[in-house]
Structure formats: structure tokens, C-alpha cells
Structure 1
Amino acid sequence: MGTILPDSTEPPRVSMVMPVHNGARWLAEAIESVLVQDFLNFELILVDDASRDDSPRIMAEAAARDPRIRLVTLKDNVGLPAALNHGFAEARGSLHSWTSDDNLLRPAMLGRLVGALDAEPDADIVHADFTLIDEDGTELGRSRVGPIERLLHGNNVGACFLYRARVTEALGGYDTGLFGVEDYDFWLRAARSFRFVELHEDLYLYRKHGGSLTSQRAERIQALTAQIVERAMPDTLPARNRSEILLGLALKSHLRWRLDLVGRAFRADPVHVAARLPQIARWSLAVARNRFAA
């Protein structure tokens, strides 16, 4: 017996956007992971961001097979944030999510996320745990999402999420000038007005590989991260907390940005940084050793 699809004349509950730019290697598998969801009432909006590999053929064939797929083709390569905005401009669902052409949804993902929001009508965004995988799909370990109260310390929303369309509308989509941290910026802005719910279930597979956007743009991402976190800090945030957050960013940043972030932390709270000098010294020595060892 075949799968019974929802009535295509009615708007779907969920709009899932997948931006694609030369992502043929894992694209068919990524698309299939959406199509085999236990929850059926969704649309998959594939945004071809001017791909020059085999991606357009893969997307066209998938769209011909499944009426839940809609294809948006961009003539020029606009980058991930703008491609997401193009996709969500076509979205008909009251719930939004997006995924990448190299990542995979577990079959229960949409059903569990929709269920979580249905159970808490006053919540706006649900985010769930996920597993890291390598190029071959080997599982590397589970990543547990964290409380939104710690969002300034790092993007603990993660890669598996669902949010109401009103969040997209209120925030105006993703900032096209923040390619690489567009999602983190989106969550930082959302946290000012919307309620998040954590779901500690492993519902997604996030692929780590050298060709990923995160790997290719690592240094730029670190610089932008410091920029958006400082911008998101409320004026009422105590100086010690501001200093602690900046030091945390320094510990995770490329060498080029570390001293600058330590300096900003010192200007925020010199006493706090002075108390952490032994730790900073040990960290600096470890950085130097690793640098020369490489």
C-alpha cells in the first residue's frame, strides 16, 4: 500500500527549506531524509542557488516524483542567508524549518517537533539534540542543545529546530550580511521576543567535513560571531558577565581574534580578567605549542 499524501489543495503545516549550491554529493540522500518523515503534512522547498554541478538534475527529478517538493531556481549565486529568504518567501506553512544538502533528518524529526509545539501553544521555537557524522555517515557523537539563557555564550540552539511562521515575519528573515552566522544571529534576535523549548531527543544528523561552509569560512565566522554577540548583549548586562562571555569567545577563536577579544573583556571588567590571568596564560601557552607543533 502506497503512502497517503495530504491534500495538496490545502496549505501544508510545515514548510521545510533546503538551499543548495553545488551540493550534489549528498543531495539525493538529504532530500530523501525529508520525504520519508513519519509526519506527512509538509512541503519541501528546494532553492537552487545557481548550482553548476549535478544538483539541478537531482532536484528536478525529485520534484517530478513527489508533489510535496517545490523548486525555486536562482539565476545568480546569492549565498545561504539570501537563498533561505527566497525559500521562505514561497513558504505556505504555519511552521518553518530548514536543512542543508549535506545533513539528514531522522524519520521522526518533524513529527516530534510539531508535537512539541502543539503541546505548548505559547512556545514559538523548539530545538532538539542531534548527532555529528563524518563524510561517510559514521556517527561521531551526540550534541545536546542548551538553555536559551546561555545563548550569548554560544549557539546552543543547534541544527535541529522548528519555529512558527510569525518568527520569520517578525525578524524579517535572515541577515544577508552575516553569511556563516546567519542562524546564530537569527536566534539571538528571536530570543528577545519569543519563547524557546528544548527537546532532548536525537532527531538530526549533522555532517562535519572539510568542504562544509563552516569549515571553509571558519575565521570569518569567528569574527562575525564576536560582532553579533556584542551587539546582542543588553545594556543592563553586568560587566562581569560581559567580560566572561568575551573571554569565552576568545578561547574558541582563531589566533588573529583572540588578543582583541581578551582586550575587550579587560575593558569590560579588568578585575575579572586579572583574576583569570593564570588560566589565560596557560591557554596562551597551549595555543603557542599547538601552533609550532603544526
Structure 2
Amino acid sequence: MGTNILDSTERPRVSMVMPVHNGARWLAEAINSILDQDFRDFELILVNDASRDESPAIMADAVARDPRVLLIDLKTNVGLPAALNHGFAAARGELHSWTSDDNLLRPPMLGRLVATLDAHPEADVVHADFTLIDEAGAELGRSRVGPVERLLYGNNVGACFLYRARVTEALGGYDTRLFGVEDYDFWLRAAQHFAFVALHEDLYVYRKHGGSLTSQRAERIQALTAEIVERALPQTLPARSRSEILLGLALRSSRRWRLDLVRRAFRADPVYVATQLPALARWSLVVARNRIAA
């Protein structure tokens, strides 16, 4: 465990966790975006997941200059979901969030999310819109989060969120077997027990680049996504909706024919699948082309 353990009577309102594994390129900027928040009552828990680049020095500097920063040093690389669990095990705030070492919080983010949960005591999770940028920082567009009722159709919770500590406790944290979709799985499980509220304000900046986990492991992530979504499908779901969700999962796979998903979609609602034959044909061509190129 690192330094800057605060007095136990001075519990922060928010605990923000940032797992770091060889993230030096944008790490200082990511940390500063948290420390420069308009809302000040938080702790930042940096989890060094056995980094071998300049990340440890950058994190040590943050610890030295701000007493709200805590450091957990892991000697063995455990991966993102396990690193998150290490961080939240040390969290003392009544509200939880986490961010990546390549993304940025806009200055009002924490304040607006805290205020929204305060205004909605019946809700346990708030999530907000965010901007996508490329490797050079150029804007690619804004992502508008969707209603939790559409969560089975895709991870519309997004990258900007805050939730009550009881959500972490009830769900037992993040599933370490689901590296790459641990967040989507967390939201699918949370949606079964907790209330969400969407805030349509642009409060976060998500960086898309070739080294990101989603870029490196796209096909594996698509397979895991299908697994967790199928597991979360309620028995009471209408046949048309079940078919639409399963076929959508199949069509997202660009390097593998997911005929198992297509068959299950057809069994659920053959009429719907028949209407999607043009999309299935285009998908087959894309998969064939990608497999040949590989």
C-alpha cells in the first residue's frame, strides 16, 4: 500500500480509482484532470498494476503534491478488473467512480454527478454524456448515453459515471474473468437491482487509440459481450426483442461467423431474422474479407 493515508475521520465523499499499467504517455494529464475538479471532496486511488515504464514516477509525483492521492502498488500484473477491485477495497467514500490513464474528466464532472445523485435519492447510478477524441486529441464526436432499459442492446452507460458504494458491495466488485467487458457486465448486473439516471451533459473525454484495450482485443471482447448479454436476458423478454438482441450480437463480430447466435435468434423469432437477410449477407462478406486478409 502506498502513502498519504488520510485520517479515518476525514472520509471523502467520492472515491475515484485509476488503474495504471504502463500508461505514462497520457497519465499526468489524466491525473491532473481529476485533481483540478471543481468538486474537491474526493480521494484518488492510483493502482499501479506492475507498470514498467515511467508511470510509477508520475504517480509518485502526484502522491507527493496532493494529500488526496493514495497509491496501491501491485508487484504482479493482475489486469484491469482485479486492479479495480484492489482500488475499491481501499475506498472510503460513499460514492464510487473510476477512470482510465488515457482519459480526461472535465472540471465540473464530479460536482455535476454528485449533485445529480443528491437530487435523485431513489437512484444509485448516474451516467453522463462524453466526447470521443483520437490519439492526437482531435474530437471525433459526442457520445450520448442511453436509457438503462436499452442496456441489453449495448453498453449505453458509457465512460462517465458515479455510483453509490452499496452498488460495489452488493455486486462484489468487477468479475476478473471478464477482462475487457468487466464494466458492461457490472452494469448488466447492477441494472437488475439498482436505479439509474442519465445526465445529458458532456462531462468526460474518452480517448480512442490503437493501444487501447478495446482496439487490441476486439474479437475477444465481442465474444465475451455475447456471453454476458445472453446470460442477462430475462426469461420474460418478448421473442422479437430476444431475436433482435441475439442477431445484433452476431452482426458485431467482424472476423468470426457467429452462426450459433444467428440460429438462436432464428429460433426466437424467424420472421424478424428473415427481414434482416440483407444485413446478414453484408456481414458474411465482411467476415469473409477479414478472414482472407488475416
Q: Same fold (TM over 0.5)?
A: yes
Partner of 2:93: 93
Residue 60 of structure 2 aligns with which residue? 60
Task: Show the counterpart of 1:3.
Answer: none
Q: Which residue of 1 aligns with 2:3?
A: none
Q: Secondary structure at the match of 1:255?
A: coil
Q: Per-residue CA shift, 1:90-114, capped at 9, x if unaligned?
A: 0000000000000000000000000
| SS, match of residue 180 in structure 2 | coil
Deviations 1:51-76 (A, max 9, x none): 11111111011100000000000111
Amino acid at match of 2:264: R
- Cα deviation code 1:229-269 (max 9, x no counterpart): 00000111122211100111122223314333212211322
* Residue aligning to 1:41: 41
Aligned equivalent of 1:187: 187
Q: How does 1:3-14 map to 2 (within 5 A)?
A: 9-14=9-14
1:84 paired residue number: 84
Q: Which runs of 5+ in 1 are unaligned?
A: 1-5
C-alpha separation between the residues in 2 aligned to 1:274 and 1:251? 14
Query: Which whole-Å CA distance do the structure 1 matches of 2:32 and 2:172 have between them?
Result: 29
- Flag the 1:286–1:72 CA change in 2: closer, same or farther, 3 A: closer
The 8 Å contact of residues 145 and 158 in structure 2, kept in 1 or not, is answered as yes
In structure 1, the partner of 2:231 is 231
Farther-moved stretch of structure 1 (40-49 vs 266-275): 266-275
Q: How far apart are residue 164 of structure 1 and its match?
A: 0.2
Report the secondary structure of 1:156's partner residue. Answer: coil
SS in 1 for 2:140: strand
Q: Deviations over 1:172-214 (max 9, x none)?
A: 0000000000000000000001000000000000000000111
- Alignment partner, residue 284 of structure 1: 284
Supply the distance in 2 between the matched residues of 1:133 and 1:287 (Cα, whole angstroms): 28
Corresponding residue pairs, total:
289
Describe the SS at the equivalent of 1:16: strand
Shifted more, 194-203 versus 237-246: the winner is 237-246
AA aligned opposite 1:73: D
Q: Which moved more, 1:255-264 or 1:235-244?
A: 255-264
Check if 1:172 corresponds to 2:142: no
Residues 86 and 289 (structure 1 numbering): CA distance in 2 closer, same or farther, change over 3 Å?
closer
> In the aligned structure 2, how far is the partner of 1:285 from the partner of 1:84?
39
Q: Residue deviations 1:105-137, cap 9 Å, x none? A: 000000000000000111100000000011111
3-state DSSP of counterpart to 2:110? helix
For 1:1-294, list aligned pairs within 5 A: 9-285=9-285, 288=288
8 Å CA contact retained: 2:49, 2:83: yes
**TM-score with structure 2 length normalisation?**
0.94
Paired-residue identity, %: 83
Query: 1-side partners of 2:88 and 2:120: how far apart?
Result: 24
Distance 1:258 1:233 in 2: 18
- Cα distance change on mapping 1:144 and 1:261 into 2, 3 Å: same
2:245 match: secondary structure: helix
Aligned partners of 2:14 and 2:30: how far apart in 1? 17
Specify the SS of the correspondent of 1:256: coil
Let me know the Cα RMSD of the aligned residues.
1.8
3-state SS of paired residue (2:26): helix
Q: Secondary structure at the match of 2:70?
A: strand
TM-fit CA distance, 1:291: 6.8
